[in-house]
């Protein structure tokens, strides 16, 4: 019995103590070249050097990864699980793409069996990619949330999700009403929020799909539901920004629409944020809201460039995470997403460092979701959601790694060239939940 409750994992590991945008990389990044991580009941009890800690083993079996790199599991701060079946669909920009691909696909989630099948596939793909926590959009159907959370509980994963609220500018089968959206979300909060490792996220899709009455109801529900999150889209596409101006002419800007209905503050996560005005940047920072930056999606839908320089200049004051935004995003891999963030930032004149990218994919994302006291780091008290990375996952990476002279160089190479093939193993709450098949 005792044996099952305790686990030990040995190997090189890294974890961020702090934000490298705020301090030096050597202060922010902890690297243990031959480390030991001890786990009890899913929580890390000791993490440090093998020689210093081996005396604590007490005879338990050690999983040893001498030639890999262990790190906290990745955090994806904005993703749509129902869109897994439309990833990589050709054409056009946001509004056309929603109408042609997204809305038809989401209508199928009225069927609980369909929802469960896609939820299972989505979470298995997250595990294969090394993502252990995500902030997830379901569809308008409450059954889509039940299916997702049931699948997450079965895998022991820490997940945040919610039913999309949309009562206008969508097809008949995908619309709720302000009252129904409120009632269904409230019932889902009672059923799921705080259960196992789950957080409920109140999810008004975006201002164009929510009437003023629905946004007001969402704000009321959020105020009534301590500890829940709120997620939505903000300023992704210039036509969308124009549309919001037409729909809410009395509001100063796009973010002011959400602010007016009480939908900003700690645990609010805004996807995209590409075309923000100065006051919107300031309000995001000052209200303690978070930005989910979705680089593969922004490139794929031609939405625009995220001002990474501005976000980085805010240092630790702004909560920022990275996100795949599948199905507008083209990969569930946070490694691919980090590489895309680097390339998109380059186009805007900012060179994202490997340390910043890996921070954002782990502890930064956890901080954006207000979960940094539980996940995103390897230290005592943290939940043991870990990934084991193979730094030589392709023949070319194996060759190129021979010419890497520092950890930072190796990390940058991984975010530039690696993908889910680099994820050798994933532990959820200390239990091995994914192991890459041998080549
Ligand atoms: N804005 C409103 N809904 C969506 C969505 O599903 N995907 C993206 N990328 N943007 C949105
Ligand atoms: Zn999205």
pLDDT in tens, 98-151: 999 999 999 999 999 999 999 999 999 999 999 999 999 999 999 999 999 999
Residues 143 and 42 in one domain: no
Q: Is 199 helix (H, G, I), strand (E, B) or coil?
A: strand
Q: How far apart are the CA of 270 and the centre of ligand 2, in A?
A: 9
To test the pocket of ligand 1, the residue of 206, 244, 257, 270 to mutate (highest count of ligand atoms within 8 Å of its CB) is: 206
What CATH number should be reported for the domain holding residue 43? 2.30.40.10
What residue's CA is closest to ligand 1, atom 7?
328
Please name which of 72, 148, 60, 34 lies closest in space to residue 426, comparing C-alpha atoms: 72
Q: Give the model confidence (pLDDT) of 291-332 as tens digits.
A: 999 999 999 999 999 999 999 988 788 999 999 999 999 999
Task: Give me the mean pLDDT over the 368-390 stretch.
Answer: 98
- Residue 164 and residue 34 in one domain: no
Quick one: average pLDDT of 332-337? Answer: 98
292-323 burial string, b = 16+ CB within 10 Å, else e?
Answer: bbbbbbbbbbebbbbbbeebbebeeebbbbbb
In the reported structure, the alpha carbon of residue 318 is separated from the centroid of ligand 1 by a whole-number distance in angstroms of 23
> What pLDDT shows up at residue 437?
86
**In a shared domain, residues 389 and 318:** no
Whether the per-residue pLDDT at 26 is higher than 60: the answer is: yes
What pLDDT is stored for residue 341 in this prediction?
Answer: 98
d(Cα 20, Cα 411) in Å, to the nearest integer?
14
* Shared-domain flag, residues 112 and 125: yes
At 381, list the tokens. 């008290």
Q: State whether 272 and 218 are in the same domain.
A: yes
Could you tell me whether strands 6-16 and 386-389 are parallel, antiparallel, or unpaired per DSSP bridges?
unpaired
Query: Which ligand 1 atom minimizes the distance to the CA of 233?
Result: 1
- Give yes or no: residues 61 and 136 share one domain: no
The whole-number pLDDT of residue 1 equals 43
Domain boundary among 368, 391, 420: 368
171 and 23 share a domain? Answer: no
Encoded tokens for 393: 């996952």
Q: What is the domain count for the chain?
A: 2
321: domain CATH number is: 3.20.20.140
For residue 2, name the pLDDT band (cuts at 50, 70, 90).
Answer: very low
> What is the 393 CA–ligand 2 centroid distance (Å)?
30
Residue 439: is its pLDDT beyond 70? no
Decide which of 368, 390, 421 is a domain's last residue: 368
pLDDT, residue 438, reads 74
Q: Domain boundary residue among 368, 403, 418?
A: 368
Q: Do 117 and 147 have their domain in common?
A: yes
Reported pTM: 0.98
What the block records as the tokens of 300 is 């794929």
Tell me the average pLDDT across 74-93. Answer: 95
Instruction: Looking at the structure, tell me whether residues 17 and 136 fall in a common domain.
Output: no
Asked if 67 and 83 sit in the same domain, the reply is no
Residue 439: Cβ within 10 Å count? 7
**Any residues with CB less than 8 A from the CB of 411 and at least 6 apart, and which?**
354, 355, 357, 358
| Domain housing 147 | 74-368
pLDDT of residue 35: 98
Q: What is the rounded distance in angstroms from the CA atom of residue 251 to the CA atom of residue 280? A: 12
Q: Are residues 112 and 255 in the same domain?
A: yes
pLDDT tens sequence across 183-240: 999 999 999 999 999 999 999 999 999 999 999 999 999 999 999 999 999 999 999 9
Query: Hey, how many other C-beta atoms are within 10 angstroms of the C-beta on 237?
Result: 21
Ligand 1: residues whose CB is within 6 Å? 80, 94, 98, 102, 205-206, 233, 236, 297, 325, 328
Q: Whose CA is nearest to atom 9 of ligand 1?
A: 328
Average pLDDT, the chain: 97
Task: Specify whether the CB–CB gap between 164 and 437 falls below 8 A.
Answer: no
Phi/psi of residue 369, nearest 5 degrees: -90, 5
Phi/psi at 66 (nearest 5 deg)?
Answer: -65, -30
Q: How far is the CA of 304 from the centre of ligand 2 (A)?
A: 14
Looking at all shown ligands, the one closest to residue 298's CA atom is: 1
Ligand 1 pocket test, pick from 205, 299, 326 with the greatest ligand atom count within 8 Å of Cβ, gives 205
Residue 92: the pLDDT is 85
Cα(30) to centroid of ligand 1, in Å? 36
| 254 in the same domain as 362 | yes
Confidence check: pLDDT of 260 > 90? yes
Number of helices (H), then strands (E), in the chain: 19, 17
The alpha carbon of 300 and the centre of ligand 2 are apart by a number of angstroms equal to: 12
């Amino acid at each position: 019995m005792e044996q099952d409750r305790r686990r030990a994992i040995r190997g090189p590991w890294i974890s961020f103590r702090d934000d490298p945008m705020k301090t030096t990389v050597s202060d922010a990044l902890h690297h243990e070249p031959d480390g030991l991580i001890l786990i009890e009941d899913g929580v890390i009890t000791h993490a440090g050097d093998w020689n210093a800690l081996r005396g604590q083993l007490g005879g338990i079996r050690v999983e040893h990864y001498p030639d890999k790199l262990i790190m906290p599991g990745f955090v994806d701060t904005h993703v749509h699980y129902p869109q897994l079946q439309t990833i990589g669909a050709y054409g056009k920009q946001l509004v056309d793409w929603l109408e042609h691909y997204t809305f038809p696909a989401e209508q199928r989630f009225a069927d609980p069996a369909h929802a469960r099948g896609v939820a299972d596939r989505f979470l298995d793909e997250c595990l294969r990619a090394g993502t252990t926590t995500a902030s997830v959009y379901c569809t308008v159907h409450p059954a889509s949330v039940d299916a997702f959370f049931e699948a997450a509980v079965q895998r022991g994963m820490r997940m945040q999700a919610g039913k999309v609220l949309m009562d206008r500018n969508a097809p008949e089968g995908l619309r709720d009403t302000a009252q129904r959206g409120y009632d269904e979300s409230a019932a889902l909060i009672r059923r799921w929020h705080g259960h196992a490792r789950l957080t409920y996220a109140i999810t008004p899709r975006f201002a164009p799909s929510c009437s003023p009455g629905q946004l007001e109801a969402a704000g009321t529900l959020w105020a009534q539901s301590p500890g829940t999150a709120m997620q939505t889209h903000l300023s992704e596409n210039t036509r969308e920004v124009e549309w919001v101006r037409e729909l809410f002419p009395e509001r100063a800007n796009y973010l002011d629409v959400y602010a007016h209905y009480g939908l900003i503050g700690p645990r609010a996560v805004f996807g995209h944020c590409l075309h923000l005005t100065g006051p919107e940047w300031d309000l995001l920072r000052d209200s303690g809201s978070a930005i989910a930056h979705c680089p593969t999606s922004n490139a794929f839908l031609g939405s625009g460039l995220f001002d990474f320089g501005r976000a980085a200049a805010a240092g630790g004051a702004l909560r920022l995470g990275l996100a795949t935004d599948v199905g507008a995003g083209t990969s569930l891999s946070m490694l691919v997403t980090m590489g895309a963030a680097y390339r998109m930032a380059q186009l805007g004149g900012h060179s994202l460092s490997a340390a910043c990218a890996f921070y954002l994919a782990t502890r930064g994302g956890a901080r954006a979701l207000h979960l940094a006291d539980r996940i995103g780091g390897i230290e005592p008290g943290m939940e043991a959601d870990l990934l084991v990375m193979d730094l030589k996952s392709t023949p070319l990476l194996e060759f190129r790694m021979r010419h890497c002279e520092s950890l930072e160089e190796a990390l940058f190479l991984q975010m530039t060239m690696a993908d889910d093939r680099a994820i050798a193993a994933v532990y959820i709450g200390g239990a091995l939940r994914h192991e890459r098949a041998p080549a």
